């Protein structure tokens, strides 16, 4: 078991970061394909990163640097608590409640560092980000609570293990409703096109990133990719049964099993992501009020109904 833990500690952040980057690359490719364009090579984000790390950017002070470092560190640490396939190094460290709070560190770190940039676009971006997060957080909390009270545990590892025994929760009765609600708010959690009010390049010249130059932009791109990965990984773990394969066949034990588990997990993540990108490629950007009004109407209602049913059963 300890080997798995160490493997987890080393590999799951790397997997997280790489898949994050690949996801952004694939997203740009898919959006291009939707627009009948060839689109950049999949590894374009990697190239961008290398270029950005060589640029000599301006800095606005201590918080400008360390806020961003804290934000990226927070997101990477979050991946340690999230089961990536079978790798879940710190699973007993606090479970879903800790994850809901760790999710906060990324955006808050970014907001702190952007804040010192002293640019009005940053303030507008941050206030939109927080309002939007309030919008989708109401539904997300309803979903998490219904999952936790359904499986009667607060550790996400138990949730995934329970799903590997009796089927994915997206297709089990009471949890299909929260699953549906989660799908509705997924673009808002990822901050993708219809809901990317916070870092809209055209309106507020990419909000908090307005003053980010070379390595600052690189770190924020890494953190962006990672938080997208986390958003989808949470969905996959809660509703698509993490590393479990549908039907009765089980993964072989040992290192091969772990490897396969990770692959299955990543496949699910890729599928959900592509579903999401096609949605986002064809939607214009909403205003903040419209986004919050939408998020507080249908998804919240569905989430509430889910929670009532779960707590009634």
Partner 1 sequence: MLEAILVVAFGGALVSYFLGRWTSRIRDYFALGVWIAILGMTSYLHQIEPKISTFYPGFLGYDLSLRITSLSWLFAVTVAAVSVLVIIYSFRYIKGHEKRNLFYFLLLLVNGGMMGITLSGDLLSFYIFWEIASWSTFLLISFNRGKALPAGLRYVVMSVIGSAAMLVATLSLYSSYGTLALSDLSTHLATAGGGYVIFIFLLFFVSFGVKNAIVPFHTWLPPAHSEAPAPFSAVLSGLLVKMGTYGLILIFYLIAGMKIFLGLGTGIWSFHYIISALAGVTIVVPSFIAVLQDDAKKTLAWSTVGQAGYIVLGVSFGTGLALAAGIFHFLNHAMFKSLLFMSIGTVERKTSTRDLNELGGLVKRTPVLFVVTLVGAAGLIGIPLTNGFFSKWMLYKTLILEGNPFLAFAALVGTWGTVLYSYRLIHNVFFGQLPEKYRDVTRTSFSTYLPMVILSIAIVFFGVFPGFLLGEINVVTTSLGFTPLDVQLWGISSDSGTVNTLNILAALAVVGVMVWYLFRSSAETTEVSQEDSYTAGAPVPQGRFTYTADFYRPLEKIIRPYLKDRIEDFYGMLVGFVGVLSDTVRRIYTGYVGTYVAYILALLAAVLLVQLGWKPW
Partner 2 sequence: MDRRQLIKWLKEPLKMSNKYSLHVVYFCTGCGIIEIPPSITARWDAERFGVKPVATPRQANLFLITGYVSLKTLKPIIRTYEQMPAPKYTVAFGSCPIDGGMYWDSYNTINHLDKYIPIDGYIAGCMPRPEAVFAGITHLWTLIDEGKADGYKKYRRNYSQYRSNQERLYGELGWPPRFETEGLENE
Select the residue interacting with partner 1 from 112, 159, 186, 272 (CB under 8 A): 112
Which of partner 2, partner 1, none has residue 38 at its interface (CB below 5 to 8 Å by kind)? partner 2
Residue numbers 5-34 binding partner 2 by CB under 8 A: 28, 32
**Which of 56, 152, 248, 313: binder of partner 2 (CB under 8 A)?**
56
Q: Among residues 31 and 186, whose Cβ is nearest to partner 2? A: 31
Residue 163 engages partner 2 in binding (rule: CB under 8 A): no
Give yes or no for residue 124 binding partner 1 (CB under 8 A): yes
Contacted entry of partner 1, partner 2, none for residue 40, CB cut-off 5 to 8 Å set by kind: partner 2
- 284 contacts partner 2 (rule: CB under 8 A): no
Residue 306 CB contacts under 8 Å (≥ 6 apart), including other chains: 142, 143, 146, 174, 175, 177, 178, 181
User: Does residue 37 sit in helix, strand or coil?
Assistant: coil
Identify which of residues 100 and 205 has a Cβ nearer to partner 2 in the complex.
205
Single out the segment in contact with partner 2 by CB under 8 A; choices: 15-23, 176-184, 206-214, 254-262: 206-214
> 33, 39 in Cβ contact below 8 A?
yes
Find the binder of partner 1 among 10, 47, 93, 171 (CB under 8 A): 93
Structure tokens of 255? Answer: 């290192």
* Dihedral over alpha carbons 101, 107, 110, 111 (to 10 degrees): -100
Query: Hey, which residues between 139 and 168 contact partner 1 (CB under 8 A)?
Result: 141-142, 145-146, 148-149, 152-155
Question: Residue 46, interface with partner 1 (CB under 8 A)?
Answer: no
Q: Is 134 in the site for partner 1 (CB under 8 A)?
A: yes
**What DSSP designation does 244 have?**
P
Radius of gyration for the chain, computed over Cα atoms and rounded to the nearest angstrom:
19
Query: What is the secondary structure of 190-210 as a DSSP string?
Result: HT-GGGTTTT-HHHHTTGGGG
In the complex with partner 2, the residue whose CB is nearer, 5 or 33, is 33
Residue 90 interacting with partner 1 (CB under 8 A): yes
Measure the CA–CA gap between 63 and 25, rounded to whole angstroms.
Answer: 30
Whole-number Å distance between alpha carbons of 30 and 20: 15
């Amino acid at each position: 078991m300890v080997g798995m833990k160490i493997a987890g500690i080393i590999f799951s952040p790397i997997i997280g970061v790489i898949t994050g980057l690949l996801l952004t690359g694939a997203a740009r490719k898919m959006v291009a394909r939707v627009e009948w364009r060839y689109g950049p090579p999949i590894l374009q984000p990697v190239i961008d990163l290398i270029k950005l790390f060589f640029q000599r950017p301006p800095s606005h002070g201590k918080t400008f640097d360390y806020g961003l470092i804290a934000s990226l560190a927070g997101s990477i640490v979050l991946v340690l608590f999230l089961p990536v396939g079978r790798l879940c190094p710190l699973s007993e460290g606090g479970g879903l409640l800790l994850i809901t709070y760790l999710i906060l560190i990324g955006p808050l770190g970014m907001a702190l560092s952007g804040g010192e940039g002293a640019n009005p676009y940053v303030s507008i971006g941050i206030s939109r980000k927080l309002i939007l997060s309030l919008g989708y957080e109401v539904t997300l909390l309803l979903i998490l609570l219904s999952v936790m009270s359904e499986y009667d545990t607060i550790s996400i590892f138990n949730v995934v293990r329970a799903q590997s025994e009796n089927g994915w929760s997206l297709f089990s009765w009471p949890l299909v409703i929260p699953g549906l609600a989660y799908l509705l708010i997924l673009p808002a959690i990822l901050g993708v096109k219809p809901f990317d009010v916070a870092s809209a390049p055209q309106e507020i010249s990419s909000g908090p990133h307005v003053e980010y130059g070379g390595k600052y932009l690189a770190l924020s791109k890494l953190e962006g990719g990672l938080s997208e990965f986390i958003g989808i990984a949470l969905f996959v773990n809660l509703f698509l049964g993490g590393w479990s394969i549908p039907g009765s066949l089980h993964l072989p034990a040992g290192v091969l099993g772990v490897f396969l588990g990770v692959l299955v997990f990543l496949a699910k993540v890729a599928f959900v992501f592509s579903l999401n990108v096609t949605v986002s490629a064809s939607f214009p950007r909403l205003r903040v009020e419209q986004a919050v009004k939408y998020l507080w109407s249908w998804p919240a209602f569905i989430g509430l109904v889910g929670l009532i049913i779960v707590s009634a059963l």
